[in-house]
Amino acid sequence: MFCFTTFKRYPQGVLHKLISYVKAVLPIKVSVSVLKKYKDVEGAVKIEEVNGEELVKKFAEEMEEMLGRKMKSVKSLAEAAEDADLYHEYNETLEFDYYNSMLINTVDEDGNPVPLGGEFQLEENEHFSKLAVNTQQSNIQVPTNVYNRDPDIVNGVYMSEALNDIFIDNFQKDPTLTWQYFGSSTGFFRLYPGIQWIPDENGVVTFDCRNRNWYIQAATSPKDVIIVVDVSGSMKGLRLTIAKHTINTILDTLGENDFVNIIAYSDYVRYVEPCFKGTLVQADLDNREHFKLLVEELHVKGEGKVKNAMMESFKILNEVRISFLCNQAIMLITDGAMEDFQDVFEKFNWPERRVRVFTYLIGREMTFAENVKWIACNNKGYYTHISTLADVQENVMEYLHVLSRPMVINHDHDIIWTEAYMDSVAQSLLLMTSVAMPVFSKKKETLSHGILLGVVGTDVALKELMRLAPRYKLGVHGYAYLITNNGYILSHPDLRPLYKEGKKLKPKPNYNSVDLSEVEWEDTEEKLRTAMVKGETGTLFLDVRTSVDKGTRVMFLRNDYFYTVINETPFSLGIVLSRGYGQYIFIGNVSVEEGLHDLLAPDLTIASEWTYCETDIDPAHRKLNQLQAVVRYLTGKEPDLECDVQLLQQTLFDAVVTAPMEAYWTALMLNTSGMDDGVETAFLGTRSGLMRFQSLFLSLPRSFLTSTDKENMFTLDHFPVWYRRAAEYPAGQFLYYMPRQETRGRGHTFTWQTHTHTHTHSNTHSPSQNTISALFALCVCACLLRVSLFDYQAMCKINSHSVSSARPLLSVCTINSHCIQIYSPSAHKKKGDILQPCDTEYPSFVYEPSVKETNSIIKCGRCQKMFVVQQIPDSNLLMLVSPLLFWLFLLYCTVHNASVKCDRMRSQKIRRRPESCHSFHPQENADDCGGASFISLSTSLFFTCLTFAALVS
């Protein structure tokens, strides 16, 4: 299918002239010339039905193979790191100069390299987001709060030098690898290729590899965690500040495979989020950020009585244990004053000690240290003392080492894949996933201690993974998507992880915990989601309302969904084929010589984001764009390029069939008398991603098809909006539309289409918004149907001083029957307003084609006015005549009351927990529980301490 489009400037009041011109001239000439060319090659054309079941399995197999190569690379890194440690003898006085990524290529006042700096060659590399890197050497990043000459750091860096050769070897075997790394349990981060690390505006490096999801998930099994925090009067001031920071740091060590809740206690027990009373919630990014906001509001009062809080915690954990048991833990944060509650342990946790208890003593006072330590050591946990804010990070990390012990002792090298996240290493906004694997000490003398050396991993850009599901095989409305075992989106064309705040793009607070049901919201019974989360293979169909053009237009489609699991990963793949254009694929065949001739035309481009030829394997090809790569491959200059033969075949065919367009457009430019005033640009698109573009008006201020105007381009996620809309419009009719004014700033634009598609563009002043609003309001009454659409990824303006989340919008219908959203003056962002995730329902309006003509009376006070609406034949335009012009707005609000929000946050959707679990090991040394050494308190001494605590509290 081809789509033709032109832009045209239109003076106000001559719309009928434009319509007649377009209908009478352009489509006829375009259609005749293209159809004539098509007749010449018709014998080489065939139409094949798309088999969705085979297609999704093929895509999944290719993704499994690609991800398998990444896992193989990570395994080789883990083996090399463990062997290097086995033969390394720790040296307290070891001196070793390494390349510190913060200090490389830096000199002192005398021009000499600074310590741990030195000359480190960097070269811009296309494969690594055009960053300056060193592909022959890794280097070391150390957080600001870690001493870079600490003996543990120096010994670890020296030992891990052995990874350099493995990094390079992996990259040579698999040139599609991106960043490879080793995150040490001591805090340093070895990264390949080496880069210059840029600190923040304060000169600080806050990145700590041990806080990253890939590290935490690889180091521990899934865990159910209840954080119990003392908010009695003795916790005032700095102690409360440290306690809050400790809670937030613990939350940062949790991921979407973990569950959590927070209980605060003083004279009574309270949940920091009352909505979560008596349960655990998934520790996804959304819930963790929600907890952090609530923790910030904690205040101290009363006497500290922890017994009831501990009882409540054990009850919750015992209830959830029925359905799943892996690691369970209680994190007790207190300044030490507490009453006797040994009977709680006897009733709920002894003798099995299935729940580990980790204790954090807050403040400089050590009076109750032995009490707090006794609790941890008698419940297979760990005790730490946190006296300053600087102590928090290192002390919180200790609990991860304890939870990793069973896995380390048993040498279970589980490979994990993370949820989607924004790449912070490359300073870009690409969505990534990581594959990681733990690294253990093999030394026999430390076996019972289960020493975790760190975690190795590599990143995979999800954009690159989705290239394995080519757009041209899925049709104009088709797409592929990936989800995790928890039902969260990894990749989906409707995922919008970023929002604009001022001039900056920022990740949404819940960008990586968007559920499949929030994107495929027509799956109301969640049959699709349930099957995919369970890792099943199957198919189903849905009648869907889908929005295009950034939510302003609606289309009605019948979609077939095909899905399967990607083996050896927690991911499932789905593809969507729309009935109609998605059911068949059109295959033409022409000679390479003929196709190449037309492919080299100056008006022709191909989709830059599609993979016609793989340019990322050989470094020599990385500077080629796709069209250059295709031409070099077809001319035999680069025979080693890996190219998609079927896509090239389609592209060459489309180039030949559409070749007459170049001559036709050139004739229009030369013979201005044959072209109506104001026609500026014309372009054509085909299913193979080929586009022909011609500027017919030399003073055009800028190209319509800019790199930022993604909606009108062939991208990895979707076909252009004008192409998608044209595909669903009846053949032989013309489609007009006006893109949203705020995204263009160049007047109104109309679009038309037959089996081709044409587009006009205006530089003149547009009709007044008042006039348009009045006319379209009448249309709403007369001939439009209201359709409800939902957006579960919206960001709403919420006044920071108000509990209301209302955000009124004004909506008016436009001439092509879609909805424009206009903020009322009070809805503009003011000082103190913040943006938060919210769910919205919004209207779109669809023309009722059965209404050819209608008229009615509008009463306005004492007067009445008549209006007439008539459909313009062979188009989606309506002619509306009325002397009455007025404003009519459809006001709606995005408010969801607290109970609805609570129900949604508490809801536990079906999910698939990781199969592996390592909770305990019989050889584990439970006496290693924090402090200098474990002193077993006698029962009488314990009660003496508790009595003393009661007296001073």
- Residue 666 is predicted with a pLDDT of 79
R_g of the chain, CA atoms, integer Å: 32
Answer for the pair 471, 609: CB distance below 8 angstroms, yes or no. Answer: no
C-alpha triplet 434, 438, 442: angle, nearest 5°: 160
Most confident by average pLDDT, 59-63, 336-340, 430-434: 59-63
Taking the C-alpha atoms of residue 366 and residue 229, their distance in angstroms, rounded to an integer, is: 18
The residue among 726, 734, 775 whose CA lies nearest residue 873 is 734
Please name every residue paired with 133 in a beta bridge, in sequence order, or none if there are none: 123, 195
Task: Determine the pLDDT at residue 3.
Answer: 59
Q: What is the pLDDT at residue 894? A: 43
Position 494 pLDDT exceeds 90: yes
Under DSSP, is residue 931 helix (H, G, I), strand (E, B) or coil?
coil
CA distance 147 to 152: 10
pLDDT higher than threshold 80 for residue 519: yes
Q: How far apart are CA 624 and CA 604, in angstroms?
A: 17
Mean pLDDT of 395-409: 92
Q: Give pLDDT tens digits for 11-49.
A: 434 344 434 433 433 444 555 666 677 777 777 788 889
Res. 324: pLDDT tops 90: no
Helix (H) or strand (E) holding 27: helix 26-41
Query: Which residue's structure tokens are 């509008």?
Result: 858
Quick one: which of 652, 641, 581 has its CA closest to 611?
Answer: 641
Instruction: Please give the Cα distance from 70 to 94 (Å, whole number).
Output: 34
Q: Answer yes or no: is pLDDT of 764 > 70.
A: no
Cβ neighbours of residue 183 under 8 Å, at least 6 residues apart? 189, 190, 209, 210, 212, 214, 215, 454, 455, 456, 457
pLDDT digit string (tens) for 41-75? Answer: 777 788 889 999 999 999 999 999 999 999 999 99
More reliable by pLDDT, 356 or 948: 356
Bridge pairing between strands 327-334 and 223-230: parallel
pLDDT on residue 157: 98
| C-alpha–C-alpha distance, residues 463 and 480, integer Å | 12
Question: Residue 706 — pLDDT band, cuts 50, 70, 90?
Answer: low
Is the pLDDT score of 721 beyond 90? no
Residue 808: is the preceding peptide bond cis (ω within 30°)?
no
Does a cis peptide bond (omega within 30 degrees of 0) precede residue 274? Answer: no
What distance in Å separates the CA atoms of residue 482 and residue 462, rounded to the nearest whole number?
9
* Range of weakest confidence among 7-16, 56-65, 805-814, 857-866: 805-814
Q: pLDDT tens, 587-643? A: 888 999 999 999 999 889 999 999 999 999 898 999 999 999 999 999 999 999 999
- Kind of pairing between the strands at 863-871 and 878-881: antiparallel
Weakest-pLDDT range from 93-102, 263-272, 669-678: 669-678
In the predicted model, what is the mean pLDDT of the chain? Answer: 82
- Report the C-alpha gap between 461 and 214 in whole angstroms: 14
Nearest to residue 839, comparing CAs of 811, 810, 805, 813?
A: 805
For 439-487, the pLDDT digits (tens) are 999 998 887 788 999 999 999 999 999 999 999 999 999 999 999 999 9
Residue that has been written with the tokens 């375009």 in this structure? 30
| pLDDT for 591 | 92
SS3 per-residue string spanning 421-451: EECCCCCCCCEEEEEEEEEECCCHHHHHHCC
pLDDT value of position 878: 77
Helices (H), 95-198: 151-160, 163-173
Largest CA distance in the chain: 107
pLDDT of residue 116: 95
For position 802, what pLDDT does the model report? 40
For 270-294, what is each residue's pLDDT tens digit?
Answer: 999 999 999 999 998 889 999 999 9
Task: Return the higher-pLDDT residue of 125 and 863.
Answer: 125
Q: Between 310 and 816, name the one with better pLDDT.
A: 310
Residue reference for tokens 């290239």: 467
Sign of CA dihedral 598, 599, 605, 610: positive
Q: Among residues of the chain, what percentage have pLDDT more than 70?
A: 79
Closest CA to 461 of 428, 436, 487: 428
CA dihedral 605→610→616→619, nearest 10 degrees, is 0
- Tens-digit pLDDT profile for residues 884-906: 544 333 333 344 445 566 777 77
Question: What is the C-alpha separation between 403 and 239, in angstroms, rounded?
Answer: 27
Res. 718: pLDDT tops 70: yes
Give residue 122's identity as a one-letter amino acid code.
L
Distance linking the first and last C-alpha atoms of the chain: 80
Q: Beta 259-265 vs 281-282: how paired, if at all?
A: antiparallel
Residue 697 confidence (pLDDT) above 90: no
pLDDT tens digit sequence for 767-780: 344 444 444 455 55
Provide mean pLDDT across the span 387-411.
92
Q: Average pLDDT for residues 88-113, to the nearest whole number?
A: 94
Q: Which of 867, 631, 878 is nearest to 736 (CA)?
A: 878
Task: State residue 893's pLDDT score.
Answer: 38
Q: Cα(411)–Cα(25) distance, rounded to whole angstroms?
A: 75
